Chain A
């Protein structure tokens, strides 16, 4: 699971209001190279919840992103885009869990695949 996915994922348990961001428990993180594509990053920048990404990136062992949402003008910086790229697309959570911030329910991540299936009483 990439952090792009983490940034798009919320707890889907019935009745949960603040299901985002899911807290990451990282047991195994792997890095896989992806072609650098500045256009995609510039396009995604406005859709990303920055604090969630920066925090997740830290937990995944890459504390290089600014904590606060940077100004749009930072997209002119190649150095910034490289870091954004690395955090968003190249860090993979292989094994671990995603934890609902409101209920503490753990969604396991195995072989890089989060399991968001709910039990009957959660739907």
Chain B
């Protein structure tokens, strides 16, 4: 049976490129968990921002595989070593993505606007001093500034611009990033949100959250209102709380 995701021994590396880690695995696990939904979704253009070693975009191309011949892949990273390593990882697995060394998706934002059906992002999310963000060394792979939100908050509007009507976004967050607040903020832009993976390691609690454009959310002024009384922030909170408790429950059960 062909491997279902990228093989670690075939993932290329470089001293200045982020190697696959728990966060990368959590994101790929979320994509695996949603595999059949993603296949039914028939994404035509898929994209990763910040591809690092290429582990995630390669895994995505393998997961969608021959079931989604229509799919074409783009991956960006601001680190030129990373885009090169991503190319090597893709080639080692016999899959292809178009690569671009750029800040977030700069250069694509005009013409690719509204065309991306599936986006996957494992951003730099670690809370650090602001001046560590975006440097040229390896630290730019994780340095996220205050609450780890500096780069995340720049990526989200770009994602909103690039996503198509049916566009889906799978993005990884740390508990310290305040994912709940991010979901509410996205709700105000008309997105539904759902936690696909929640995982605690000794050091960190990771969430992979899926966003989609929800036609039931009408944007009135600055506040999203969902038909049925409550404002979106309230609804979003109730919804997320229920998701979080359900997920923790499920994980506890599995451990037994």
A interface with B by C-beta (< 8 Å): 1-2, 4-5, 7-12, 19-20, 32, 34-35, 37, 39-40, 43, 47, 49, 89, 111-118
The interface bits of chain B over 100-136 (1 if a CB of A lies within 8 angstroms of the residue's CB, else 0) are 1111001111111001000000000000000000000
User: Known: A116-B102, A116-B107. Contact between A40 and B78, CB under 8 A?
Assistant: no
A43 to B71, CA, bound (A): 12
Residue in contact with A4 in the complex, picked from B69, B98, B101, CB distance below 8 Å? B98
Q: Flag if A10 contacts B101 (CB, 8 Å).
A: no
A114 to B87, CA, bound (A): 12
Q: Is B84 an interface residue (CB 8 A)?
A: yes
A60 to B6, CA, bound (A): 33
The smallest beta-carbon distance between A21 and chain B, in angstroms, is 9
Q: Flag if B78 contacts A117 (CB, 8 Å).
A: yes
Most buried by B among A8, A9, A20, A40: A8
Q: Flag if B101 contacts A37 (CB, 8 Å).
A: no
Q: Flag if B70 contacts A113 (CB, 8 Å).
A: no
**What DSSP secondary structure best describes chain A's contact surface?**
loop
Q: Is B150 an interface residue (CB 8 A)?
A: no
Which residues of chain B come closer than 8 Å to A113, judged between CB atoms?
A: 80, 83-84, 87, 99-101
Total count of chain B residues near the partner, CB < 8 A = 25
The smallest beta-carbon distance between A87 and chain B, in angstroms, is 15
A43 to B108, CA, bound (A): 19
Q: Flag if B110 contacts A37 (CB, 8 Å).
A: no
User: Known: A5-B74, A35-B69, A40-B72. Contact between A117 and B44, CB under 8 A?
Assistant: no
The smallest beta-carbon distance between A109 and chain B, in angstroms, is 10
User: Known: A1-B98, A2-B98. Contact between A9 and B107, CB under 8 A?
Assistant: yes
Which 8 A-B residue pairs are closest in the complex by CB-CB distance?
A: A116-B102, A116-B107, A115-B101, A8-B111, A12-B106, A12-B107, A5-B98, A113-B99
Q: Flag if B110 contacts A117 (CB, 8 Å).
A: no
26 contacting pairs across A/B (C-beta < 8 A): A1-B99, A4-B98, A5-B74, A7-B111, A8-B111, A8-B112, A9-B108, A9-B111, A12-B102, A12-B109, A19-B110, A37-B70, A40-B70, A43-B44, A111-B84, A111-B87, A113-B99, A114-B100, A114-B101, A114-B102, A116-B100, A116-B102, A116-B103, A116-B107, A117-B103, A118-B106
